[in-house]
Amino acid sequence: MNQVDYLRISLIDRCNFRCQYCMPEGTELDYIVKQQLLTDSELLTLIESVFIPVGFTRFRLTGGEPLLRPGVVELVGAIASLPETQDLSMTTNGFLLAPMAQSLYDAGLRRINISLDSLEPDIFDQIIGNRGRSRWQDVWNGIQAAYHVGFDPLKLNVVVIPGVNDTEVLDLAALTIEKQWHVRFIEFMPIGNGDLFGDRGWIASEQLRLDIRERWGLTESQVRGNGPADVFQIPGAKGTLGFISQMSECFCDRCNRMRLSADGWLRPCLLNESGQIDLKTALRTGITTRELREQVRELLAIKPEINFKGRDTGTEGIYTRTMSQIGG
């Protein structure tokens, strides 16, 4: 079991996209009202007085869409300025990124993941549930802005959907040849949406690697990330290819993270709500940070057992929230 030192922090559960795999059409979501969100002060208190003292040094800001959070640049700056923060990153859909990239970088953000599920605007808009003006160009502009500002690594997340964008895998992989971009292919995960693509299910990472290997060749990369991706490289390419194989290749034994939801719930596992702690209510009712540290330590101690629950029975019914509400 890896040391658990990586916390994914959901800043907001709202999103300006409605991606099929995250919020399937017809899904009615009860968004968290502002008063129920962790405030900036509460979040910083938890990071400084609870999470850092028990060993967390790496933080990723997620959503929903984290750039919708008011004051996000200032919050980035506050977390980045903590002496114990060894790594601060963000996952975003990129739609609002272009005008904010420089400010985020100046505030101390250095690594960023941007979702890019298709290079075809029509397919992209289909995936994100957009029926108005295409949003693909705005996202592409955000990627370019992040690249020119200097984010390194700059990662592009691709959820591979059978029959929708799986024919673009080679085109997306080719983005890594001339630029130091890192494309990560993610197996579709049926959390609350197992019937979304019918019998098409998901495509195993090994099949994607085989297709890429037949086109260019493929070697294991010396670059290693903070997460569960298996990293490869097209020979001679400047960037890398990552494969996150949560469906075909269980990586629970390598899990090094916990998740803090926007309303203050600390969860040890993406697929299992066992052991979750309501940190926001605890803070607001006067429980000391010392007591909270002990609760988090106890949860860390039982995390290995929680990680493996439900693997034989599937993920349906274990999690009652959609991916957007979990925090990615």
pLDDT in tens, 135-181: 999 999 999 999 999 998 899 999 998 899 999 999 999 999 999 99
Please, what is the average pLDDT of the chain?
87
The model's pTM? 0.90
At residue 66, what is the residue type? P
Whole-number Å distance between alpha carbons of 281 and 265:
9
Annotated binding site for S-adenosyl-L-methionine: 21, 64, 115, 189
Annotated binding site for [4Fe-4S] cluster: 15, 19, 22, 252, 255, 269
Q: What is the pLDDT of residue 221?
A: 87
Whether residue 288 has pLDDT greater than 80: yes
Whether residue 283 has pLDDT greater than 90: yes
Order of strands, sheet of 257-260, starting from the edge strand that comes earlier in the sequence: 219-220, 230-233, 240-244, 181-187, 154-160, 111-115, 87-92, 58-62, 6-10, 257-260, 265-267, 277-278
What Å distances lie between residue 245 and 127, 207, 290, CA to CA?
20, 11, 37
Q: Return the top range by mean pLDDT from 29-38, 254-263, 307-316.
A: 254-263
Annotated binding site for GTP: 8, 60, 91, 155, 257-259
Domains and CATH numbers, the chain: 6-326 (3.20.20.70)
Instruction: Find out whether 201 and 164 touch, Cβ atoms under 8 Å.
Output: no
**Residue 220 bridge partners (DSSP):** 232
Q: Which helix (H) or strand (E) holds 60?
A: strand 58-62
Question: Three-state SS for 189?
Answer: coil
Annotated binding site: 8, 15, 19, 21-22, 60, 64, 91, 115, 155, 189, 252, 255, 257-259, 269
Whether residue 317 has pLDDT greater than 50: no
**Cβ neighbours for 72, distance < 8 A, ≥ 6 positions apart:** 11, 61, 66, 104
Instruction: Find out whether 90 and 66 touch, Cβ atoms under 8 Å.
Output: yes
Give mean pLDDT, residues 263-283. 90
Whole-number Å distance between alpha carbons of 139 and 192:
27
